[in-house]
Amino acid sequence: MKRRVCVVGVGLSDGPVTPDMSGIMLEAQSFRRALDDAGLEVADIEGLASAGYGGMHEVMLAEYLGLTPRWLESSSTGGSSFEFHTMHAFRAIEAGDVDTVAIVYGNNQLSASGRTLGTGGGGGGRAGMAMPMPMAYEFPSGLTLVGAYAMAAQRHMHQYGTTAEQLASISVQTREHAARNPNAMYRDPITVDDVLSSRLVADPLHKLDCCVISDGGCCIILTTEDRARDLAHRPVYVRGAAGGTTHHSIQAMADMTRTAGAVSGPKAFAEAGIRPSDVDMFAMYDSFTYTVLVMLEDLGFAPKGEGGAFVTDGGGNLRLGGALPTNTDGGGLSSTHPGMRGLFLLCEATRQLRGEAGDSQVAGAEIAVAHGSGGWLSTQATVVLGTEGES
């Protein structure tokens, strides 16, 4: 019989602006806080997963933390890496390969590099750097990272009549949540008009359709249900997970209105034994407003082409009290996005299911979904978490 797997510890580093901390210091700080949260010690950690921007990052991190793990994972799929890590740790713990795993990420993106990620070299890497192979054909066009998402949004608008106002509403509703989070980068309320009158970075995406650039680190710890019983918090169960990819460079995305989430979402939901309407809270990788909109459709919260209406219906379905409270910590759009955000989604979903989300608590939340998107809508992974294990 498969063993049940739980999230038993979460830790956030200081943030969102930490000029005195390196990326690996932020990783260590969040790791320590997750251990304390769980009531575990370093010696309890048998497996480590991480992704950085160079090879062997998880090995260097293990050494830095004083770990000699016997299980390692370093899927490097961009922002979704950590949902892939969770899926793989889930399987490994289920199968009995390892009991207790820490997944760690940290980056001082803002303090080290400034706000240039989205338009500082786009899909091609920084000027003068060797370009990943498909990017050699893309980078000379002058496309930016924001521009790649913008093209996908443009296509959705063309095909389904999605409006700039609907995209903007995602940012507005997310900002309402950030206002409740003292650690969010931007907390002042904004309106749809504010988004639409912020400057266009790459049509149709405005500055306020784009995530923030911050510093930050995050760690979650997974273990078996048996071990979780002795630990500090009510365990949060991993109930299903799936992932996939459709392309690397945006020119190879066959249908810009449909991502690999259309496969990973239903697959993870089926494993968890849930339907979209069962989801109480959605932690969605909001690199850009469009990323949220397309995934509302791909994961089945709204029919294809109707994501825009879903966002604004009922006074705003992503709000607390809406049909699908989304990014209750203020998301990447307003709170925290240190290069990659995937792990922060799992942390927020866990806090909600524990009932620890304070002013942003979704009352009675029992099922949460964390969905990571990496690259240029390239890689997608869905993790379903619940307050109860599967029966």
Partner 1 sequence: MTDFVAHNGVDWSESPKYLWPRPNNEDGEFWAGARRGELRIQRCTSCGKHQHYPRFLCTHCGRATLEWVTASGLATVYSFTVVRQNGVPPFNERVPFVVAVVDLDEDGARMIGALPKLDPAQARVGLRVRADFRPANDDSAFVDFAPLD
What backbone phi and psi angles, to 5 degrees, belong to 5? Answer: -125, 135
Q: Which residues bind partner 1 (CB under 8 A)?
A: 116, 119-122, 126-128, 134, 136-144, 146-147, 150-152, 154-155, 158, 199-205, 249-252, 256
Nearer of residues 12 and 256 to partner 1, judged by Cβ: 256
Please report how close the Cβ of residue 312 comes to partner 1 at its closest, in angstroms. 23
Nearer of residues 103 and 250 to partner 1, judged by Cβ: 250
Structure tokens of 222? 């997974």
CB 47 within 8 A of CB 65: no
Nearer of residues 34 and 157 to partner 1, judged by Cβ: 157
- Strands 47-50 and 71-73, by their bridges, are parallel
Nearer of residues 201 and 242 to partner 1, judged by Cβ: 201
For residues 23 and 287, give the distance between their C-alpha atoms in angstroms, rounded to a whole number.
Answer: 20
Structure tokens of 30? 């969040």
Nearer of residues 134 and 355 to partner 1, judged by Cβ: 134
Q: Is residue 6 helix, strand or coil?
A: strand
Nearer of residues 156 and 177 to partner 1, judged by Cβ: 156
Please report how close the Cβ of residue 134 comes to partner 1 at its closest, in angstroms. 6
Choose among 360, 361, 362: nearest CA to 324: 362
Write the CB contacts of 265 (distance below 8 Å, at least 6 apart in sequence).
Answer: 242, 295, 298, 299, 300, 371, 382
First to last CA, the chain: 13
Please report how close the Cβ of residue 215 comes to partner 1 at its closest, in angstroms. 20
Angle at 45 between CA 44 and CA 46, to 5 degrees: 110
Choose among 82, 4, 75: nearest CA to 272: 4
Nearer of residues 48 and 333 to partner 1, judged by Cβ: 333
Angle at 359 between CA 30 and CA 306, to 5 degrees: 95
Nearer of residues 195 and 353 to partner 1, judged by Cβ: 195
Structure tokens of 119? 């338009």
Please report how close the Cβ of residue 158 comes to partner 1 at its closest, in angstroms. 4
Please report how close the Cβ of residue 203 comes to partner 1 at its closest, in angstroms. 4
Looking at residue 210, the DSSP 8-state letter turns out to be: B
Nearer of residues 68 and 116 to partner 1, judged by Cβ: 116
**238: exposed, middle or buried (C-beta count within 10 Å: 0-12, 13-18, 19+)?**
buried
Please report how close the Cβ of residue 138 comes to partner 1 at its closest, in angstroms. 5
Nearer of residues 116 and 197 to partner 1, judged by Cβ: 116
Please report how close the Cβ of residue 184 comes to partner 1 at its closest, in angstroms. 24
Please report how close the Cβ of residue 220 comes to partner 1 at its closest, in angstroms. 34
- Strands 236-245 and 379-386, by their bridges, are antiparallel
Distances (CA, A) of 66 to 8, 44, 45, 86, 177: 21, 12, 11, 22, 37
Please report how close the Cβ of residue 375 comes to partner 1 at its closest, in angstroms. 15
For residues 308 and 302, give the distance between their C-alpha atoms in angstroms, rounded to a whole number.
Answer: 9
Please report how close the Cβ of residue 139 comes to partner 1 at its closest, in angstroms. 7
